[in-house]
Amino acid sequence: MPGGTRFSQNKVRRYHTRTLVLLLGAGAFFLLVFFIIPLLFVVAESFRGEDGAFTFARYITVLKDEQFRNVYIRTIKIALIVTPLAVLMSYPTAYLLLKIKASRKAVLTSLVILPLMTSPVARTYAWIVILGRFGIVNQTLGFLRLVKDPVQLLYTEGAIIAGLLQLFLPLMILNLVSALENVSGEVEEAAQSLGSNRLGAFFRMVVPLSFDGLIMGATLVFTGCITAYVTPALLGGSRVLVLATLMRQQALTLMNWEAATVIALVMIITTLILHTVLRHFRPGNQT
């Protein structure tokens, strides 16, 4: 009997293993063929010299270029501005979604998700209508006699920041809503019964308990800002380049595929470093 039981357990274990392999196989194959292998080709190409030998010459050339350094710093700066703004604007919204009635919650949640169902190109063109030379903002400023001539709002870092914030804000809100749903309302009540006010209970109890969602949302927003192309291209143009638009310029305008390959690897390495650093701030990794 013990031998038969052990045989049945091994059979069940093999069945579960085979089922798991079949379920993961399609996705793993897709990622391998259309992501991992092309990425390995890009990495290999970035280290290949004109004679085919291994070299760091392309990286040295790109990293020594002043334009690349300026664009890299600008990209990181924009991401560092957009991410905290997204956090500050998302927390109150996510917190409110958990406190209101279910019927209103469904409506407001739909409004949060609605931008994700709209093309980024369409959303970005809306900012052109708002920030253009004869857009809503300039017309309002002129009507109030605050300015005599239209203000240059498009093709600035501020325009890119506004566009990226609007683009990634729903992702941050949804991550925080998911995290806050796991925080019991009794936690706040317990903190208030011990003498804390509502604001203190929120920052001392709710925020730490939802920190995992905050880190995941911040990771998505920050990496999205670094790799975004459509919004910076339309709102920044050729005046305000970021890494994605610089890479396209090098590849398709200047036909400098070597530099474009290095810029692509720099973007990937930057996002991987960021992801690794932020993972250490997740609650499960803190000691």
pLDDT, tens digit, 9 for 90 and up, residues 159-195: 999 999 999 999 999 999 988 888 777 777 777 777 7
Higher pLDDT, 62 or 5: 62
Q: How far apart are CA 223 and CA 233, in angstroms?
A: 17
d(CA 200, CA 188): 9
pLDDT at 287: 46
Assigned domain for 57 exists: no
Which residue from 188, 184, 216 is spatially nearest to 203, judged by alpha carbons? 188
- Regarding whether 13 and 79 lie in a shared domain, the answer is no
pLDDT of res. 231: 94
Given a cut of 70, is residue 121 above it in pLDDT? yes
- pLDDT mean across residues, the chain: 86
Confidence tier at 282 by pLDDT (50, 70, 90): low
The pTM of the full predicted model, rounded to 2 decimals, is: 0.85
**Model pLDDT, residue 83:** 94
Give me the pLDDT at residue 247, please.
Answer: 93
**Judgement on whether residues 222 and 167 belong to the same structural domain of the protein:** yes
Are 6 and 106 members of one domain?
A: no
Residue 7 has pLDDT above 60, yes or no: no
The reply to whether 87 and 221 lie within a common domain is yes
Instruction: Mark whether 126 and 256 lie in a shared domain.
Output: yes
Each residue's pLDDT tens digit, 255-278: 998 899 999 999 989 988 888 887
Q: Verify that 25 and 75 share a domain, yes or no.
A: no
In a domain, 216, yes or no: yes
What total of structural domains would you count in the chain? 2
Residue 61 lies in a domain: no
Residues 144, 74: Cα–Cα separation, whole Å: 33
pLDDT category, 2, cuts 50, 70, 90? Answer: low
Q: Is residue 54 in some structural domain?
A: no
The answer to whether residue 56 is domain-embedded is no
For residues 13 and 244, the model is more confident at 244
Answer yes or no: is 108 within a domain: yes
Range of the domain at 24: 1-46
**Helical segments of the chain, H only:** 2-31, 37-46, 57-63, 66-99, 102-113, 120-131, 136-143, 157-180, 185-193, 198-201, 207-209, 211-227, 230-236, 243-248, 257-279
127 within domain boundaries: yes
Q: What's 189's domain CATH number? A: 1.10.3720.10
Q: Are 228 and 164 in contact (CB under 8 A)?
A: yes
pLDDT at position 159 is 95
- Assess whether 241 and 160 both reside in one domain: yes
Same domain, 73 and 41: no
Q: Is 274 within a domain?
A: yes
In this prediction, residue 8 carries a pLDDT of: 67
Residues 117 and 37 in one domain: no
Q: What is the mean pLDDT of residues 190-202?
A: 75
Q: Do 116 and 4 fall into the same domain?
A: no
Domain identity same for 33 and 85: no
Task: Say if residue 112 is in the same domain as residue 223.
Answer: yes
Q: In the chain, what percentage of residues exceed pLDDT 70?
A: 94
52: alpha, beta or left, given left = phi > 0 and alpha = psi -120 to 50? left
